[in-house]
Chain A
Amino acid sequence: MNGGKVTLGRTAGLYIGAAVLRLALFTVFPGLPDLLTGRVEISTPVTSFKRLQEGLFLYNHNVSPYDGGVYHQAPLFLPLFSLLPSSSSFPIFTYLLYIVVDLLSANALQKIADSGEAVSSALFTSPRREKRWSGLVIAAVYLFNPFTIATCLGRSTSVFTTCAVLHAIAKAISGAPISAMIALSFASYLSMYPLLLLPPLLLLSYDRQPALHTQKSLLAFTLKHISVVTGVLSTLFSMSYLITGSWEFLPSTYGVQLTLSDLTPNVGLWWYFFVEMFDSFRSFFLAVFWLHLSSYVGGLCVRIRTQPLVVLTLLLGIFAIFKPYPSIADMSLFLAMVPLYRHVFPLMRYTFVVAAVVMYATFLGPAFYHLWIYAGSGNANFFYAITLVWGLGLSLMVCDLTFAVLRDEWEVERPEMVGKEIRQI
């Protein structure tokens, strides 16, 4: 009883601390939010707050924001932000909204961590399950991660997607598959790519069904919940249609992600590739890149069937690298999930290399971007090289985590191999 109170007090303290830190940064450095909004690492064409403001301005002046090349975000943001007082005259309301969204994400993450799904799922229990961090620590790691704070200050709209994804996972774990599907539909509606998380999320919800009304057949379960997702998505689309008055928003929001017509630099690998791509091969490589991105889903779901949460984590990491418009917001979502696997950290082989590479790219990225864009003493290859390093570092991290998780699984069969040299054949 007393322990529960202490935890509650600590949780409240953590959330208040995170909120105060963000508010302090917003108010003490009034130029910081706009500076971060302008950074290409934080704001991509599909998440930028400045573009959202432009879309909002056009929407409020009866010009269709989708009849232009600037606004590529979901239509439901428009009425949401129209309800808020203008961010230029009363920025505090916008700040508070973003802080609340961050705290909600942290809350969902805490629920995920406290459920212990990461160490012991329905089909698998890790031998290392004792060695894990509490939800409080994991929420703290998320809330005080510089990437998360920068994303919040930059007011990138990807925080809404992050929140929806985390809530979808939390709901699936807590045995509310319908809510999970609704949350995932919202995430997909906002950013499209979370739709690829549907298969592992279905598996996770299936595994964690409440005992009372368990549905035995996976197929029936899948069909039911896919229809839920379809229903929610079509509701959202028809609401968007009612708001904007036309279907123009579809090509302008999802079409841009599919065809990459806006080549603004970001931390991903797509933009420079498609700047330099020969016109005749553009569509082919777009198809290849999307196929590559979606190819991981099936493989991971099959191979790590016993731990759907691992699949979700790994997919989030892969999306952070290979999405069309990734930003450090995606990285922060992946880094939020990684500490759930504290128990396999000892099995990871390249922790130091990965940390070093990520730090290297984090610090050199802005510097090289400055050299290219402002100083003129470097060219586009400088920033491109850093995005390559970033991508390689992250993919090493994802691979390493996969390896660690699989080895953990394998050691259940071969308990005598703990701490021994192994190899793969």
Chain B
Amino acid sequence: MRRVLSFFLLCFLSFCIPTFAADYHEQLVLRPLPLSALLASFNFRSNTSLSAFEAHNYRFFPRSLGQILQHAGTRELHLRFSLGRWDAESWGARPWDGAKEGGTGVELWAWLEAETEEEADHKWLTLTNALSGLFCASLNFIDGTRTTRPVMSFRPEGNHPSSNSTNMHLLYGVLPREVVCTENLTPFLKLLPCKGKAGIATLLDGHKLFDASWQSMAIDVRPVCVPGEECVLEIEQTIDMVLDIDRSLRPRDNPIPRPPPGHELKCDTSKPYHSDDTCYPAVYGANQDWTLAQIFGRPMQGICPLADPTVPPVCLHVPDSRSVYSSAGVREIKNKDGLSRCFEVEPAADLDVVLPRVESEGEAAPTLAESIVRPETPSLYAERSFTGYGQERGGVQTILRNPSPDKEVEFVYMESLPWFMRIYLHTLQARVDGPSTDQESLIDEVYYRPALDRARGTQLELRMRVPPASTVFLTYDFEKSILRYTEYPPDANRGFDVAAAVITILDDGKGGTGSASVSSDKHTSSNLRTTTLLLSLPTPDFSMPYNVIIFTSTAIALAFGGMFNILVRRFVAADEGPEVSLKRLKRGIQTKLGSLFSKFGKASIKKNE
């Protein structure tokens, strides 16, 4: 992946500097992965000079977003919409070193210019509400309980004047429950200069994108300053997705998977038990044949006329030994490293790329190296899960594995947890399993901001290291709190989503935790995110608020009434005092009635007289 980046940067630097002030380019990088997966990375980038931006002069920069940013005083913005899980064990390192991915759901972090924290909070509220409308996402639900101010994890990617650094506030909000879907893609494409009508964006189809095994849409806005030139505001929109080729090839009109008929099964004929009625599925995944149009549902329709023509729109990472066919009007340029090639398209031509199966010689199946470029090994594997059972308490265990045999990995591990997950920091433990069992130096620094009920969530940042070829188990306990019944979402028994942990790998030598240092290199940060977790809380019975109010009130009334009775009333012997019985009542009524009758009687007598 680094090679792509360096290539990209090279293109960027060599071709684009003359027209730096306002330009736009887009590129799609296709990369077949093991197990019949295909990583497609779409990248759209445009610049506008800061002076033009401040004068409300928008050319490539989307006006809708630009106005929001100006209104909310945002200096740098990062927005992520993600779904699925990146399978690092088989797919290797993440695209862009994980810098352009988010945890499942929506993630937003921004540097806001404000004098005070209150002002920053206010601007953050403005920003989330405006973005919520722009992207049709529930970003307005990023309230105080879901907002944190990371201390060690994020650093500005753009170049900010150092005078501003004191009044720049970093706020980070995450919505793990948000389901990313087509309604978020449409506004995303609307921000592009070609609006998804031409160029590589025509390949983006909601049906395919949200059917992917993993996908991440990213928007990054940052100021970039090259010494000696005017600063520009850069917006970079990225979509990365891992498509399951088998799944994508499934015809659109027959999307329900059915077992293929026997004669279509691909069997491993080398197995001794292979026969007409016994089939061991062949490992053919890495060696599928596909075309661009099949995978994305349509071919690429022309190129975006606004895009920089010197940047090839589509690149494909397969070994040079593999033959690739392309449609008419497309020129193939092989890269020097022998592992990738790019395609240049004539303005009006449709682009389609056909990747045929590698025909193996003889019986032997083609090796992985022949058909695809082997993915890079990531510098760290991370997995996080819940431990324990029951709805009272539990634990979180994160397994961090360093695959490198000789290099230590230093990183910042950040969790932003909801307030109803009450963590016990005194139970935090890091246990190492590996050749060196040096327990003490695993966690170098801890930043902890405990949750406050209904006001803010937990923020935990750990700067720690994993020794070479070792695995570190990070565990802590927490308690699940019971909420007011109005605080449960619909379908409370599904559980609550807990946001992904963000791991920022610190580069050697620069591993300091100093405040936001302005880095000149944009792509230094290397990130990793664990999956989100589903936390099930104890639930009350939602159907009986009235019953509970009545029962409890009755119990209290009984206690109070009983006490009151005993305290207030006098004791008498059972046969003393006024009689309380039916007889007495009867007698009382009789006497009353009798006196009444007698009055009437007297009156009638008087009349008679």
**A contact set with B: CB distance below 8 Å:** 38, 40, 50, 53-54, 56-58, 61, 63, 67-70, 261-265, 269, 271-279, 292, 295-296, 299-300, 303, 318, 321-322, 372-374, 376, 379-381, 384, 388, 391-392, 395-396, 398-399, 402-403, 406-407, 410, 414, 417, 420-425
Interface-forming stretch among B37-45, B92-100, B449-457? B449-457
Residues of B within 8 A of A381 (CB): 541, 544
Q: Which of B446-492 contact A (CB under 8 A)?
A: 446, 448-454, 479, 481-486
* Interface: B558 (CB within 8 A): yes
The 7 closest A-B pairs by CB, nearest first: A68-B450, A395-B559, A57-B426, A421-B574, A424-B569, A276-B545, A399-B562
In the complex, which residue of chain A has the Cβ closest to the Cβ of B563? A399
Residues of B within 8 A of A303 (CB): 567
Contacting pair B450 A277 (CB below 8 A)? no
Smallest distance from the beta carbon of B445 to chain A beta carbons, Å? 12
* Interface: B329 (CB within 8 A): no
Contacting pair A425 B563 (CB below 8 A)? no
In the complex, which residue of chain B has the Cβ closest to the Cβ of A372? B538
Tell me the bound Cα distance from A322 to B559 in angstroms: 10
Residues of B within 8 A of A417 (CB): 573
Query: Which of A69, A276, A398, A423 interacts with B452 by CB under 8 Å?
Result: A69
Smallest distance from the beta carbon of A378 to chain B beta carbons, Å? 10
18 residue pairs bridging A and B, Cβ less than 8 Å apart: A54-B426, A58-B425, A58-B448, A61-B448, A69-B452, A264-B481, A269-B555, A273-B548, A275-B484, A279-B484, A322-B556, A373-B390, A380-B538, A384-B548, A391-B559, A392-B559, A406-B571, A422-B574
Contact with A along B534-572 (1 / 0, CB 8 A): 000011110011001101100110111011111101111
A262-B481, A263-B482, A406-B566 known; A425+B572 contact, CB < 8 A = yes
Tell me the bound Cα distance from A275 to B487 in angstroms: 9
Residues of B within 8 A of A40 (CB): 392
Contacting pair A273 B552 (CB below 8 A)? yes
Q: Which of B307-340 contact A (CB under 8 A)?
A: none
Smallest distance from the beta carbon of A339 to chain B beta carbons, Å? 21
A38-B393, A50-B424, A68-B451 known; A402+B567 contact, CB < 8 A = yes
Residues of A within 8 A of B551 (CB): 384, 388
**Number of A-B residue pairs having CB atoms within 8 Å of each other in the complex:** 169
Residues of B within 8 A of A57 (CB): 425-426
A276-B540, A425-B570 known; A67+B485 contact, CB < 8 A = no
In the complex, which residue of chain B has the Cβ closest to the Cβ of A396? B562
Query: Which of A263, A278, A398 interacts with B483 by CB under 8 Å?
Result: A263
Having A69-B422, A417-B573, one finds 15 other A-B pairs with CB under 8 Å, namely: A58-B448, A68-B451, A69-B419, A265-B538, A275-B483, A276-B549, A278-B486, A278-B545, A299-B564, A318-B563, A379-B540, A391-B555, A392-B559, A421-B573, A425-B570
Residues of A within 8 A of B574 (CB): 420-423
Contacting pair A54 B556 (CB below 8 A)? no
Tell me the bound Cα distance from A420 to B575 in angstroms: 10
**B contact set with A: CB distance below 8 Å:** 389-393, 419, 422, 424-426, 446, 448-454, 479, 481-486, 538-541, 544-545, 548-549, 551-552, 555-556, 558-560, 562-567, 569-574, 577-578, 580
Residues of A within 8 A of B446 (CB): 61
Contacting pair B567 A300 (CB below 8 A)? yes
Contacting pair B572 A264 (CB below 8 A)? no
Smallest distance from the beta carbon of A196 to chain B beta carbons, Å? 15
Tell me the bound Cα distance from A68 to B478 in angstroms: 14
A277-B545, A373-B390 known; A68+B558 contact, CB < 8 A = no
Contacting pair B538 A399 (CB below 8 A)? no
Tell me the bound Cα distance from A53 to B486 in angstroms: 31
Residues of A within 8 A of B555 (CB): 269, 388, 391-392, 395
Contacting pair A425 B577 (CB below 8 A)? yes
Smallest distance from the beta carbon of A370 to chain B beta carbons, Å? 9
Contacting pair B390 A374 (CB below 8 A)? yes
In the complex, which residue of chain A has the Cβ closest to the Cβ of B448? A63
Tell me the bound Cα distance from A374 to B392 in angstroms: 8
Query: Which of A265, A279, A406, A410 interacts with B482 by CB under 8 Å?
Result: A265
Contacting pair B424 A54 (CB below 8 A)? yes
Tell me the bound Cα distance from A276 to B548 in angstroms: 7
Tell me the bound Cα distance from A273 to B552 in angstroms: 7
Residues of A within 8 A of B390 (CB): 373-374
Contacting pair B569 A425 (CB below 8 A)? yes
Smallest distance from the beta carbon of A204 to chain B beta carbons, Å? 19
Contacting pair A262 B453 (CB below 8 A)? yes
Residues of A within 8 A of B556 (CB): 269, 292, 322
Residues of A within 8 A of B571 (CB): 406-407, 410, 422-424
Residues of A within 8 A of B486 (CB): 278-279
Contacting pair B565 A424 (CB below 8 A)? yes
Smallest distance from the beta carbon of A143 to chain B beta carbons, Å? 29
Residues of B within 8 A of A300 (CB): 567
Contacting pair B552 A272 (CB below 8 A)? yes
Tell me the bound Cα distance from A318 to B564 in angstroms: 13
Smallest distance from the beta carbon of A64 to chain B beta carbons, Å? 9
Tell me the bound Cα distance from A422 to B446 in angstroms: 70
Tell me the bound Cα distance from A284 to B37 in angstroms: 60
Contacting pair B567 A299 (CB below 8 A)? yes
In the complex, which residue of chain A has the Cβ closest to the Cβ of B569? A424
Query: Which of B481, B485, B566 interacts with A424 by CB under 8 Å?
Result: B566
In the complex, which residue of chain A has the Cβ closest to the Cβ of B451? A69
Contacting pair B426 A261 (CB below 8 A)? no
Tell me the bound Cα distance from A384 to B549 in angstroms: 12
Residues of A within 8 A of B449 (CB): 67
Most central of B419, B453, B574 by chain A CB within 10 Å: B453
Contacting pair A374 B389 (CB below 8 A)? yes
Residues of A within 8 A of B426 (CB): 53-54, 56-57
In the complex, which residue of chain B has the Cβ closest to the Cβ of A403? B566
Contacting pair A402 B424 (CB below 8 A)? no
Smallest distance from the beta carbon of B390 to chain A beta carbons, Å? 4
Tell me the bound Cα distance from A389 to B98 in angstroms: 56
Smallest distance from the beta carbon of A334 to chain B beta carbons, Å? 14
Tell me the bound Cα distance from A381 to B543 in angstroms: 11
Residues of B within 8 A of A63 (CB): 448, 450
Contacting pair A402 B419 (CB below 8 A)? no
Contacting pair B424 A272 (CB below 8 A)? no
Tell me the bound Cα distance from A102 to B87 in angstroms: 56
Query: Which of A263, A374, A422 interacts with B481 by CB under 8 Å?
Result: A263
Query: Which of A67, A70, A269, A391 interacts with B422 by CB under 8 Å?
Result: A70
Tell me the bound Cα distance from A111 to B564 in angstroms: 32
Tell me the bound Cα distance from A425 to B541 in angstroms: 42
Tell me the bound Cα distance from A422 to B572 in angstroms: 6
Query: Which of A263, A271, A292, A372 interacts with B560 by CB under 8 Å?
Result: A292
Tell me the bound Cα distance from A275 to B577 in angstroms: 47
Residues of A within 8 A of B541 (CB): 379-381
Contacting pair B573 A261 (CB below 8 A)? no
Smallest distance from the beta carbon of A421 to chain B beta carbons, Å? 4
Tell me the bound Cα distance from A40 to B393 in angstroms: 12
Tell me the bound Cα distance from A380 to B548 in angstroms: 11
A54-B426, A276-B485, A373-B538 known; A388+B573 contact, CB < 8 A = no
In the complex, which residue of chain B has the Cβ closest to the Cβ of A411? B571
Residues of B within 8 A of A273 (CB): 548-549, 552
Residues of B within 8 A of A265 (CB): 482, 538
Smallest distance from the beta carbon of B428 to chain A beta carbons, Å? 9
Tell me the bound Cα distance from A303 to B551 in angstroms: 29
Contacting pair A275 B540 (CB below 8 A)? yes
Tell me the bound Cα distance from A40 to B453 in angstroms: 19
Query: Which of A372, A379, A395, A406 interacts with B558 by CB under 8 Å?
Result: A395
In the complex, which residue of chain B has the Cβ closest to the Cβ of A420? B573
Tell me the bound Cα distance from A391 to B481 in angstroms: 23
Smallest distance from the beta carbon of A66 to chain B beta carbons, Å? 10
Residues of B within 8 A of A67 (CB): 449-450, 452
Smallest distance from the beta carbon of B431 to chain A beta carbons, Å? 15
Smallest distance from the beta carbon of B312 to chain A beta carbons, Å? 54
Smallest distance from the beta carbon of B94 to chain A beta carbons, Å? 33
Contacting pair A402 B452 (CB below 8 A)? no
